[in-house]
Amino acid sequence: MSDEFDRIARLRARFNDGAGPGVLLGIGDDAAVLAASGDNLVLSVDTSVQGVHFERAFAPLPVIAARAFSAALSDLAAMAALPRAALCSLIMPAQLTEAEFDAVIEGLADASARYACPIVGGNLSAGRELSITTSVVGLVEGCGLQRSGARLGDRVCVTGSLGGAALGLQLLQRSAAGRAPGWAERWQNPQARIAEAQALRGIATAAIDVSDGALQDLGHLCEASGLGAELFAEALPLEPGFRELARELGLDPLALALHGGEDYELLYTVPRDAPSIGPGTCIGRMTPAAGAPSVLGADGRPLPLAGGGFKHFPG
């Protein structure tokens, strides 16, 4: 394995030394320097760990790395912030080859370019398993779009569709991605909804990204807003073929859509009388009842649901 400083040199070249708008000093010193502006700064961090968030067999390394980057940026999207810069901290096992290292930084560089979010620094460390920690800084007016702003009667909306990433992951875990082309990509290539979030400015009252499962994430939004919520099962946006493939795999499509994580869509609320609900689909409404959100069937009655959502440390 080559020297740490050789790796840093390749990384600097591939990340263009962290150059970008407002970047006064990018990669190469003890820290990076960004120009501040009239907007407020938004900070977040996300980690993707081999054996926990991904397996090497699930995607090529550039895809794994870009996915980790997107997941971190999704938190900025959920605040309606615009990405400004990222720091990437890699822990790498001794057996990771130079080609594999280059593949990781290739994926990070691609994602950085796609989101126009320069990688201005980071850290390389040895360790037993590969992990990618992405810290992101964004700019926002005020405090952006918080989890706590939902009001009684607000519509609950979601961008894109639900459960696709979880279905793709099921295929990958069964080494059956080829069986239904297109679904594995739903897990592999999430998109942080940066532009969609900008379109929600002045419309949405609250937002969260769907990382741990729509129902669990909606629960966080409810808790922060001091309200409850009802979802309409029939209204959940599902891709064509989703129900059929889920059943073929012996899975409950509704559970997958409600509990499947890592879609990285935006779950948000808009006032009932808003002229537009923005780029998403209306799937429910905010209610007075605090506690876990309920899901109503076609007959308007609550459906019995098993618990779900991703937990790192099950109780």
Residues 255-314 that bind its own copies (CB under 8 A): 311-314
Instruction: Tell me if 158 sits within 8 A of 260, measured CB to CB.
Output: no
The answer to whether residue 29 forms part of the interface with its own copies (CB under 8 A) is yes
Question: What is the closest distance, in whole angstroms, from the C-beta atom of residue 172 to its own copies in the complex?
Answer: 19
**Number of Cβ within a 10 Å radius of residue 98:** 12
Shortest distance in whole angstroms from residue 54 CB to its own copies: 12
In this structure, how many other beta carbons lie within 10 angstroms of the beta carbon of residue 275? 7
* Nearest to its own copies of 34, 177 (CB atom): 34
Helix (H) or strand (E) holding 252: none
Among 30, 250, 288, 304, binds its own copies (CB under 8 A): 30
**Could you tell me which stretch among 115-123, 174-182, 285-293, 297-305 binds its own copies (CB under 8 A)?**
115-123
Q: Give the angle 89-190-21 at the CA atoms, nearest 5°.
A: 55
Query: Near its own copies by CB under 8 A, which window of 23-31, 244-252, 254-262, 287-295?
Result: 23-31
Closest of 228, 102, 214 to residue 164, by C-alpha: 214
Residue 31 or 57 with smaller CB distance to its own copies = 31
Binding positions for its own copies, 202-231, rule CB under 8 A: 207-209, 224
Binding residues for its own copies, total number by CB under 8 A: 78
91 binds its own copies (CB under 8 A): yes
* Euclidean distance between CA atoms 300 and 232, whole angstroms: 8
Residues 6+ apart with CB under 8 A from 11: 27, 105, 122, 124
Near its own copies in 119-158, by CB under 8 A? 120-129, 131, 133, 135-140, 142-144, 146-148
95 contacts its own copies (rule: CB under 8 A) = no
Among 13, 19, 21, 36, binds its own copies (CB under 8 A): 36
Task: Name the DSSP letter for residue 154.
Answer: P
Could you list the beta-strand ranges (E) of 93-162: 119-126, 131-140, 155-158
Q: Does 13 bind its own copies (CB under 8 A)?
A: no
Rank residues 124 and 235 by Cβ distance to its own copies and give the closer one.
Answer: 124
Helix axes 61-77, 98-114, angle to 10 degrees: 30
Range 52-81, binding its own copies (CB under 8 A): 52-53, 74-76, 78-79, 81
Dihedral Cα 67, 255, 230, 223, nearest 10 deg: -50
Alpha-carbon distance 315 to 312, whole Å?
Answer: 9
Smallest separation (angstroms) from its own copies to the CB of 310: 9
Instruction: Give the nearer residue to its own copies in terms of CB position, either 85 or 166.
Output: 85
